[in-house]
Structure 1
Amino acid sequence: MKVMNNPIRPITPWRETYRQLLRSVGSRGPALRKSLIGLFLAAALQGLALGCIVPLFIAVLSRPDADAARFWLIAMSCLMIAATVFRWRAQAFDYDGSMAEATHDLRTLLGEQLRRMPLEAIQDKRAGEMNATLLGNVDENLNYTLLILNLILVALVTPFATALFLMAFDWRLGIALLLMFPAIVPLYRWRRPVFGANMRLLADAHERTSADIVEYTQGISVLRASCSAGLKAARLQAGFEHLEQIQTLGHRKSSKPDILVTSIVEVGLMLIFALGVVWVLGGTLDIAILAAVFVIVVRFADPLATFVVYTAILELIEAALERIETMLAVPALPQKPAAARPESHDVMFERVTFRYVQASTPSVTDFTALLSARSLTALVGPSGSGKTTLTRLLLRHADPQAGRVLIGGVDIRTIPPDELNSLISVVFQDVYLFDDTVLANVRMARPDASEAEVEAALRAAQCLEFIERLPQGLNTPLGDIGGRLSGGERQRISIARALLKNAPIVILDEPTAALDTESELAVQRAIDTLVQDKTVIVIAHRLSTIVGADRILVMEEGRLAETGSHRELLAAGGRYRAMWDAQQSVKAWHVGAIPSGEQATVS
């Protein structure tokens, strides 16, 4: 797989990164700001403490003075203790749990954003990509922040404070050391954009690999059945290879420049020491000061040389901040001022037109239909005709670009989201159950429901027979996506959930299509209980299941092609009649006998 080069982005000012960081910790921003100030002061005090080596060496080596030596030794010790206290108190943001709480709050905020975001925006993301944002990016944003900023401050502020202190004893060496900082700036500006591009490319690769791993894990049974597990899982292997290539490319591109940057800084420090040697030999510099500068240069060589490398990790934090802010910036669907609560539960699609963001043509075009309250309306038509899109618009996964969807004459955009959700129950063809107990999976429809009410819903949904066979009954964990149960059993649990919710509008998305005859009969009995006195919308492909519908809407290419009862549509001889005849003819197919030496024929 070819590794694409990431474009070099403009350098984000540290001021903006600082603001993003404070925004990410929310109400704990002042505490984090206080911690960063503490780290700055600790680095400055540490620099002053190291600067005390100069007068201490003078008092010991050049002009022996016990009192002066004692004073500077005590001063250096006090400054180091003060620096340690400031650093310890600053890092209490980590130690006292504030960082963990900020991380929790940020994940909670992202979770709330997930609930507000249009589902269309979420559906464009793979599960692993969302996992990378909610887990990996949050951790990268916060967990290493104080550690990295402490290293950067020690690499910059500490030697700067020492250089200022040194100027009081020899202005030439002080200025020479201060000049190292302007020298580092071009190195920093040279390397940081490259670091930024590499880190964002690496973050993209990690996100993709995370998505591939989640997809592989969820689909392992299918992959094994198709002999595509292990090394034959091409997509996952390609993702691993892509990640490896990016990591290798990053190391290759950064190794030589990093060595060059380190060498330049270390050579610069050695030149400062060499200048000191020249001045000592010329009689213009005290050798004790030179000895002190030697200690200082050795102390600062490594932090200054690796400072530019630290910015690579800073870029990782910035990349995480950008991803988090991008997700938080997705606007929620606009909520119009609340209107009166719907008094009835008929559903009206009024000249609705909707096109998905990634699509080139509308999925629904100028669709108008009234679905009467307490009636059964079926949506039929070929795949891609807009049936599921209509139900998603009713659930307000997205808003139409034109037209309105109304419940009881009330525009659903004026109904608060929680209230709208309480009005509609959905039984999907593909049931999703959580890795929790039977009781918890059903009770999520109405968290305040008693266990007796849950059992009543399960009984009505024909579930008690198979639940009694489970090891812990209602308290049996169902496994990932309900893997402990069969398809029909999962479907009945889903219906029990809808029964417990007892919403006035019910959407059935071909709930029996993939079931065997016995399971279909059990599910159909459960559905009969569910839909009593409800406004029911059925998405159907098998027309034989909806012959008793009060009204059938025939969809074709996003438009309403026909409408009427089963008998009326058959008599009309249009699109519905053609679909019915085609399905009836399929029932008459059989596999003929296979004469010796001949292939099977379908008659």
Structure 2
Amino acid sequence: MIRMLLRVLGRDHARPVRRTVALMTVTAIAEGLSYALLVPVLRALFGGDPADDPADALPWLTAFGGAVAIYAVLRYLSDLFGFRAGTTLLRGMYHRLGDHLARLPLGWYGGGRVGEVSVLASQGVLETMGVIAHLLAPYISAFVTPVTIVGVMLAFNWQLGLAALVAVPLVAAVQIRTGRSMAAGDADRHERDTEATGRVIEYLQAQPVLRAGGRSVQRFALLDDALRELQRASRRTVLSVLPGMIGSTLVVQAVFTALLVLGAHLALGGSIGVAEVLTILVLAARCADPVLSLADMGGKLRSARSELTRLEALLRTEPLPEAPEPIQPVGHGLELESVAFRHGDRAVFDGLSLSVPEGRRLAVVGPSGAGKSTLLQLIARFHDVDAGAVRVGGVDVRAMSTETLMSRLAIVFQDVYLFDGTIEDNVRLGRPDATEAELRAAAGAARLDEVIERLPGGWAANVGEGGALLSGGERQRVSIARALLKDAPIVLLDEVTSALDPVNEAAVHEGVERLMAGRTVVMVAHRMRTVRRADRIAFLEGGRIVEEGTHDELLDRGGRYADFWHASLTPAAQD
């Protein structure tokens, strides 16, 4: 596990971990060696020779006290180093994880990724870094100290030491077997835990539907099943621990009994004295506690190792490659040439080609699932294409830096996410160094000033997590103001008015018109009446552009676009 931990931490943080592990190992050895001084102490006290004076034990007791004091200092330092290393590495791990997440393609964040990363970045990182601060020292001590004590026994009496040494492979075998049996149980429990968490969230989100159906007080079968499976998995996990705990206890008790019998036999035969037997039993008893604690610590370490494995898998996810010598684009035109792209097992595009001259507007329409939003994501390089090229200003997006590409794009999607902060904080994300006048101008152009005037707190009004304290239309106005403030030459729009009321729709349309003025625009249209603002329209279907032209040209052809247009004029579509 230490090797995996060092891989995850990276080279910059490997050295303090090695120093901490070395100090903890030295501390455990010092603890074991200090017990060697009990031999002359007990021999002086219980040697049985009339010539022995109990006062002779005083120097050895003093030496024993000194050894314990040295051990205490080492233990203090090792624990201190452990805590410091844990907190330092925790901060470093968060920085490394954050830097890595910032470099992953935006298309990677889909499905259950956000929840998975959220749990891993909180519970997972804390649990794995807590190993260094809380578990590493007692775990090393539980291994090294008993082995050192066994070495002391061997030096003192090879027969009794050899008998004690038998416990080492037996305990190791029990721990290995228990670990293997628990590994499958831990994985199953994690899977059931994830499933149950998802069902709890689903149950909470489904409350409006459940209550509308008159089922607000009834049990939710899917949630009950998930919790029942979690209970069974937890029971299996607990049961898988029992053999290891019982096995370790039996081994320790059996070895201690064997030492007692062997010591009595040797003492009766005159090979050793009673004091020596007593010393061996004291040392053996000191070995018992850390050995018995291995089962409990082993379970915690296995849990941390599981989190560490998931963390390592995340850090091994390859980010989009950056060009070693980035090229600066010239102009702001867009071009997609013979683009092929697969999402999982599904081919989204196959030989897609289109271009948008600088300063012109292209509307992309088509049936659901045609890949309209994916087209915008490829232009913004949320994903890399499998074949062909996406060019901005005549330069392949893979040949320019991410900062250069993002500085040329203003993106307004249908689903707007706002950070938990003030309205001003969220608008300034477009350009943090904007002046107060530029900020107010962008808000006015997006008609966000109307929202600010009626909100308590104005610009300082908190939007809540994800913008939950604002309506959908108000969130869109914040998003458009942010894009206007950024003042990027290329605008990507994913139908931003499809779920707005008439008042907000009119305000957002006005803001979008100002945002598009003089810029290169690609808009995905779900409402057909919005496409008339485009210079050109592309109809996307089956991963290809099947029709392209102006609104009037496409209507005259009577093809797929004309069918979509006429369908949008029906009363059902208008509703």
TM-score, structure 1 normalization = 0.89
2:80 equivalent in structure 1: 92
Cα offset, 1:463, TM superposition = 1.0
2:17 equivalent in structure 1: 32
Cα offset, 1:341, TM superposition = 1.5
The answer to whether the Cα contact below 8 Å between 1:129 and 1:208 also exists between their aligned partners in 2 is: no
Structure 2 letter corresponding to 1:18:
I
Aligned equivalents of 1:209 and 1:536: distance in 2? 44
Deviates more, 1:68-77 or 1:581-590: 581-590
Structure 2 letter corresponding to 1:518:
V
Task: Go from structure 1 to structure 2 and tell me whether the alpha carbon gap of 1:94 and 1:589 turns closer, same or farther (over 3 Å shift).
Answer: closer
Cα offset, 1:130, TM superposition = 1.1
Task: Go from structure 1 to structure 2 and tell me whether the alpha carbon gap of 1:339 and 1:250 turns closer, same or farther (over 3 Å shift).
Answer: closer
Cα offset, 1:197, TM superposition = 2.3
The answer to whether the Cα contact below 8 Å between 1:548 and 1:566 also exists between their aligned partners in 2 is: no
Cα offset, 1:217, TM superposition = 6.2
Task: Go from structure 1 to structure 2 and tell me whether the alpha carbon gap of 1:103 and 1:227 turns closer, same or farther (over 3 Å shift).
Answer: farther
1:77 equivalent in structure 2: 65
Aligned equivalents of 1:76 and 1:230: distance in 2? 68
Aligned equivalents of 1:406 and 1:220: distance in 2? 46
Structure 2 letter corresponding to 1:90:
S
Structure 2 residue 114 is matched with structure 1 residue 127: yes
The answer to whether the Cα contact below 8 Å between 2:82 and 2:132 also exists between their aligned partners in 1 is: no
Where 1:426 maps in the other structure, the secondary structure is strand
Q: Percent identity?
A: 34
The answer to whether the Cα contact below 8 Å between 1:208 and 1:239 also exists between their aligned partners in 2 is: yes
Where 1:429 maps in the other structure, the secondary structure is coil
The answer to whether the Cα contact below 8 Å between 1:49 and 1:80 also exists between their aligned partners in 2 is: yes
Cα offset, 1:231, TM superposition = 6.7
Which of 435, 446, 455 does residue 450 from structure 1 map onto? 435
Aligned equivalents of 2:215 and 2:402: distance in 1? 42
2:5 equivalent in structure 1: 21
Deviates more, 1:376-385 or 1:176-185: 176-185
Structure 2 residue 305 is matched with structure 1 residue 321: no
1:273 equivalent in structure 2: 260
Aligned equivalents of 1:538 and 1:232: distance in 2? 45
1:554 equivalent in structure 2: 539
Where 2:462 maps in the other structure, the secondary structure is coil
Where 2:347 maps in the other structure, the secondary structure is coil
Q: Can you list the C-alpha shifts for 1:495-520, whole angstroms capped at 9, x where unaligned?
A: 00101111111111111111111111
Structure 2 letter corresponding to 1:29:
A
Where 2:109 maps in the other structure, the secondary structure is helix
Cα offset, 1:183, TM superposition = 2.3
- Output aligned runs, 1:185-200, within 5 Å: 185-200=172-187
Which of 524, 529, 545 does residue 514 from structure 2 map onto? 529
Structure 2 letter corresponding to 1:466:
V
The answer to whether the Cα contact below 8 Å between 1:35 and 1:89 also exists between their aligned partners in 2 is: no
Which of 542, 552, 558 does residue 567 from structure 1 map onto? 552
Q: Can you list the C-alpha shifts for 1:525-578, whole angstroms capped at 9, x where unaligned?
A: 111111111111111122111123100000111111100000000001111111
Deviates more, 1:377-386 or 1:179-188: 179-188
Structure 2 letter corresponding to 1:93:
F
Aligned equivalents of 2:186 and 2:58: distance in 1? 50
Structure 2 residue 230 is matched with structure 1 residue 243: yes
Deviates more, 1:375-384 or 1:171-180: 171-180
Deviates more, 1:86-95 or 1:410-419: 86-95
Structure 1 letter corresponding to 2:442:
A
TM-score, structure 2 normalization = 0.93
Cα offset, 1:328, TM superposition = 0.8
Which of 541, 562, 570 does residue 577 from structure 1 map onto? 562
Unaligned runs of 5+ in 2: none
Where 2:414 maps in the other structure, the secondary structure is coil
Where 1:123 maps in the other structure, the secondary structure is coil
Structure 2 residue 399 is matched with structure 1 residue 411: no
Task: Go from structure 1 to structure 2 and tell me whether the alpha carbon gap of 1:416 and 1:87 turns closer, same or farther (over 3 Å shift).
Answer: same
Q: Can you list the C-alpha shifts for 1:465-501, whole angstroms capped at 9, x where unaligned?
A: 2212222111111112211111111111110010111
1:500 equivalent in structure 2: 485
Aligned equivalents of 2:256 and 2:173: distance in 1? 17
Which of 331, 336, 348 does residue 323 from structure 2 map onto? 336
Aligned equivalents of 1:493 and 1:426: distance in 2? 12
Which of 278, 284, 305 does residue 297 from structure 1 map onto? 284
Structure 2 residue 262 is matched with structure 1 residue 287: no
What is the root-mean-square deviation in Å for CA atoms of aligned residues? Answer: 2.3
Cα offset, 1:105, TM superposition = 1.5
Where 1:445 maps in the other structure, the secondary structure is coil
The answer to whether the Cα contact below 8 Å between 2:322 and 2:399 also exists between their aligned partners in 1 is: yes
Where 1:448 maps in the other structure, the secondary structure is coil
Size of the aligned set, in residue pairs, is 571
Structure 2 residue 450 is matched with structure 1 residue 465: yes
Which of 43, 46, 49 does residue 58 from structure 1 map onto? 43
Q: Can you list the C-alpha shifts for 1:297-329, whole angstroms capped at 9, x where unaligned?
A: 322223223324432222222212211111111
Where 1:332 maps in the other structure, the secondary structure is coil
Structure 2 letter corresponding to 1:36:
V
The answer to whether the Cα contact below 8 Å between 1:187 and 1:308 also exists between their aligned partners in 2 is: no
Aligned equivalents of 1:266 and 1:427: distance in 2? 70
The answer to whether the Cα contact below 8 Å between 2:363 and 2:522 also exists between their aligned partners in 1 is: yes
The answer to whether the Cα contact below 8 Å between 1:132 and 1:207 also exists between their aligned partners in 2 is: no
Aligned equivalents of 1:230 and 1:69: distance in 2? 76
Aligned equivalents of 1:428 and 1:444: distance in 2? 16
Where 1:30 maps in the other structure, the secondary structure is helix
Structure 2 residue 123 is matched with structure 1 residue 139: no
Cα offset, 1:86, TM superposition = 1.4
The answer to whether the Cα contact below 8 Å between 1:231 and 1:237 also exists between their aligned partners in 2 is: no
The answer to whether the Cα contact below 8 Å between 1:345 and 1:505 also exists between their aligned partners in 2 is: yes
The answer to whether the Cα contact below 8 Å between 2:163 and 2:258 also exists between their aligned partners in 1 is: no
Where 2:533 maps in the other structure, the secondary structure is coil
Task: Go from structure 1 to structure 2 and tell me whether the alpha carbon gap of 1:210 and 1:449 turns closer, same or farther (over 3 Å shift).
Answer: farther
Aligned equivalents of 2:461 and 2:213: distance in 1? 31
Aligned equivalents of 2:394 and 2:210: distance in 1? 49
Aligned equivalents of 1:480 and 1:219: distance in 2? 20
Structure 2 residue 416 is matched with structure 1 residue 441: no
